[in-house]
Amino acid sequence: MPGESSAYPQNLLMIHARTPRYADPVFDSRHIKTFHEVVRTGSYSAAARALGYTQPAITQQMKALERDVGTPLFTRAGRGLRLTEAGETLSRHAAAILDTMSAAQQQMAALTRLHTGRVRLCAFPSANATLVPETLARLAAGHPGVRVELSEEEPPESLQRLVRGECDIALAFTYPGSEEEVPDEVMEVPLLEDQLLVLLPTRHPLTRRRTVKLADLAEERWIAGCLRCRVNFLHECAAQGFAPDIAFTTDDNLVVQSLVAEGLGIAMMPGLVLNFLRHEQVTGRALAPASKRQVSAYVLREHLRIPATALVLDELKTVAAHKIGC
């Protein structure tokens, strides 16, 4: 009949609407461990002795587990227990679940006890040539399981990488009047004040002085470095009343040294460079009045709670305390 045929699919919809939906089982790891022991020993009482529980406690845990899975896991077979089909299925997975949990616990314990861990460090070139190698050597000696992945970037790009989550610690420097603007979630950890100096050819007459006035170098040809350093250099020259003749621009400290050694120019460089001067024909002299830059580590505040990250920061502070300008 027409009326009946039109009502039939509606009835089906009503039946489906009343059909209960069962949530996926959620397991308590303690219950899985107890279940595995019951299966291994063959009874609640034996499992209780093995685990140090009372038998009623084992019974309650198994009842709770059966409620979680929504079906019985055991049936009685005389005085013993027999696994149901659901029990057999869970039994096949229980050992693997416990093994995985044990492995996870061991790995987490290793991380928190600093037996292992990974820290991504991004630093500028002169820090990579001075602060970083000694820091990594100290870590390798005291905490060989802590792995540091190193990359190189000048600020402010290194700070941007930190905010994007591409590194865990960023080393950067700032000059007076150009402090770093960082988001609230980033913390600055000062490491050292790095005094600036001028690199001169060893045969230059001003190398006979312990310090050199920037104004006395107004007629020299200069080699400029990265953008942030160049901006500060131009600012300091302007404060002394001259505009420098910049003949070359390079971010490579060894190239700067080679150009200075050949008498092609002089350069304003950070004091950290004195730690890796390689040319006998190059001499570094402090500037008067003294000019410094601030070297700092930057880290997301929430990462300070990560043991490996905190350890690397501590080692950086220890090494920086013994460097020039601190």
Rounded to the nearest 10 degrees, how much is the dihedral formed by the CA atoms of 164, 169, 174, 180?
40
Q: What is the pLDDT of residue 114?
A: 55
Give this prediction's pTM: 0.65
The model's pLDDT over 47-90, given as tens digits with 9 standing for 90+, comes to 999 888 899 999 999 999 999 888 899 888 777 788 898 888 88
Q: Name the residue type at position 218.
A: A
Q: For the residues 189-209, what does the mean pLDDT come to?
A: 94
Mean pLDDT (whole number) for 299-323: 91
Structure tokens at 145: 């399981």
pLDDT in tens, 127-185: 998 999 999 999 999 998 889 999 999 999 999 999 998 999 999 999 988 877 888 89
| Res. 318 pLDDT band, cuts 50 70 90 | very high
- pLDDT value for 250: 93
Checking 274-278 for CB contacts under 8 A at 24+ apart, the result is 274/197, 274/324, 275/129, 275/130, 275/323, 275/324, 276/129, 276/130, 278/254
Helix (H, G, I), strand (E, B) or coil at 211: strand
pLDDT over 60 (residue 223) = yes
Residue with tokens 């399981």: 145
pLDDT (tens digit per residue) in 4-59: 444 434 433 333 334 344 456 667 888 888 999 898 888 899 999 988 889 999 99
Residues 300 and 221: their CA atoms lie apart, in Å, by 42
**pLDDT tens column, 99-113:** 777 666 665 655 555
Question: Residue 249 above 80 pLDDT?
Answer: yes
Structure tokens at 182: 């960082």
**Beta bridge partners of residue 197, listed in sequence order:** 269, 286
pLDDT number for residue 251: 85
DSSP assignment of 252-314: -HHHHHHHHHTTS-BEEEEGGGGGG---TTEEEEEEES--EEEEEEEEEGGGGGSHHHHHHHH
What six digits make up the tokens of 26?
A: 């959620």
Residue 217 DSSP code: G
Given a cut of 90, whether residue 244 has pLDDT beyond it is yes
Mean pLDDT of 228-249: 94
User: Which DSSP symbol is given to 266?
Assistant: B
pLDDT for residue 282: 93
| 182: helix, strand or coil | coil
Work out the widest C-alpha separation in the chain, in whole angstroms: 116
Q: Helices (DSSP H) in 23-54: which residue ranges?
A: 29-41, 44-51
In the prediction, which pLDDT does 151 show?
95
Predicted local confidence at residue 12, as pLDDT: 34
Averaged pLDDT of the chain: 85
| Single-letter amino acid code for the residue at 221 | R
- Position 5 scores a pLDDT of 42
Q: Show Cβ contacts of residue 259 under 8 Å, excluding neighbours closer than 6 positions.
A: 223, 248, 250, 265, 267
Q: Is residue 170 exposed (0-12), middle (13-18) or buried (19+ Cβ within 10 Å)?
A: buried
